[in-house]
Amino acid sequence: MISERASGILLHPTSLPGKHGIGSLGKAAFDFVDFLVKAKQRYWQILPLGPTGYGDSPYQCFSSKAGNPYLIDLDLLVEQGLLEADDLPVSGSLGMTKIDYGKVIDAKLELLQKAEKNFRARGSYESKEKYHQFLELNRYWLDPYALFMALKEKFNKRPWYEWDYDYKMHHESVLGPAREELAATIDFHRYLQFEFFNQWMAVKEYANNHGVLIIGDIPIYVAMDSADTWANTGLFQFDEQKNPIAVGGVPPDYFSKTGQLWGNPLFNWEPMIHDDFGWWRDRIRTSLILFDLVRIDHFRGFAGYWAVPAGEETAINGAWKDAPGMALFESIRRHMGELPIIAEDLGVITPDVAALRDSFQLPGMKILQFAFDSAEENDFIPHTYHKNCLVYTGSHDNDTTKGWYKSAKPADKKYCLAYTKGTARTIHWDLIRTAWSSVANTAIAPMQDVLGLPTDARMNLPGNAAGNWQWRLKAEALTDDLAEKLAALTRLYGR
């Protein structure tokens, strides 16, 4: 798939338009697929779909396999008879242009609780059969996750490492009684996953039936406060009291002079090797149910990872440690065949990272905003590309192209305009054209760049804990003229 010449758009579902404060998996998602079809795009790329916690980052989720319940579409629940139209918030009352997560989460959870109550009281026989099949198929991850979420509520949403000792340590002596005490809450979280998976798989099926493939995203690490770490602490670098020994991040780079201190727990690779990487294979297998292709964020961590001693305030004082990436991907290929995996190979890329990527013929990433640094040579400039890569105007971590250009150094602006034969006014389309015309098999543009939006439409500013992941698309922006403009460019360059 990725070897064919094609293009697509990056847009996370939370950014979809809609009347209830956050993008959802209802009509707006189907309308966006229709827009992609009109625009002759083959790919819809998204960010991780997991349930978000503190900071609302899709890269810090409560589970590596669960879905985000706040994406569940309320209108579809009305169609199913699980909510009344009068139950829903007044259109626009939760906001239309920026996501207010606190307001949205409170409002949606109350309605989802009502929907679950109605589902159990009057759901159809067919839907309940489907529900029980979902529980059986996903029990291996769903039961620990639902218990984890119920215990978070019991302990006032505190992270698991701040729970009472026996619960923190995952002692069955308290978990058995907890399953009975919290049965209703556990069932609620199971129901949320059932509805999420139903709605998402309907979107994916619609996209696939219309020739659109979904590129998903797997963060290499899981969140410290997640069902994964709580239920599988032996797979992570914790001491005997389940406190982290070292945490993840990256050293100082383009984005930050002090590096990025993510705080994610690091993998304890020895038991993973002993188990032939079963945890990772399960994770990939689950992702390939949800997506057609997967981008693995921070791919370089499979060759070597930056380990920062727990308690450090920045990522400066870390050290590089080796990781068994070759053995991991050999195991995945042996058990699952050749996989549609994209390597996010940005940042400090050493020869061992390139060797790992190329040994499995995985396409890497090129970011055009990084190409026009007049101060140093780089391999992001299009005339250095080979076909097996994806080129982006920018990623979710970049400023919009309009915003990037406005703040770029004068020499970089001059270099960019000379290379693209562009203008300051049309710079977003100039970079899209440059990406589309390159030899890279795949070209992707964030929706913000297709629309030519300024910095305030940026999705994420790395290193800033607040104010991210809030941007939303306006429905009226998806015009036929815009679709035709992108389609014409796509036809012109054989994508």
Pick the catalytic residue from 225, 228, 344, 412.
344
Nearest to 280 by CA among 260, 301, 261, 250: 301
DSSP 206-257: HHHHTT-EEEEEEESS--SSSHHHHH-GGGB-B-TTS-BSEEEEE-S-SS-T
Q: Is 480 a catalytic residue?
A: no
With contact defined as beta carbons under 8 Å apart, do 233 and 66 qualify? no
CA end-to-end span of the chain: 13
The CA-atom distances, in angstroms, between 161 and each of 37, 229, 271, 335 are 46, 10, 22, 34
Crossing angle (nearest 10°) for helices 101-122 and 183-209: 100
Distance CA(385)–CA(411), nearest Å, equals 23
The residue to which tokens 């940042």 are assigned = 347
Distance CA(42)–CA(195), nearest Å, equals 27
Q: Is 297 a catalytic residue?
A: yes
With contact defined as beta carbons under 8 Å apart, do 484 and 41 qualify? no
Instruction: For CA atoms 367, 370, 374, 380, give the dihedral sign.
Output: negative
Pick the catalytic residue from 73, 116, 225, 297.
297
As a dihedral over the C-alpha atoms of residue 413, residue 418, residue 422, residue 428, rounded to 10 degrees, the angle is -50
Pick the catalytic residue from 217, 373, 397, 430.
397
The CA-atom distances, in angstroms, between 457 and each of 52, 135, 248, 446, 477 are 20, 39, 28, 11, 14
**32 is written with which tokens?**
């966006």
**488 is written with which tokens?**
């014409």
The residue type of 475 is: A
Q: How many CB atoms lie within 10 A of CB 383?
A: 8
Element (H, E) at 265: strand 260-265
List 218's β-bridge partners, or say none.
296
Distance CA(180)–CA(169), nearest Å, equals 19
With contact defined as beta carbons under 8 Å apart, do 195 and 25 qualify? no
State the pairing for strand pair 43-45/246-250. Answer: unpaired
Q: Is 330 a catalytic residue?
A: no
365: phi then psi, degrees, rounded to nearest 5 = -120, 145
Cα-to-chain-centroid distance, residue 457: 18
With contact defined as beta carbons under 8 Å apart, do 397 and 460 qualify? yes
Would you please indicate which residues are annotated as catalytic (active-site) residues? 297, 344, 397
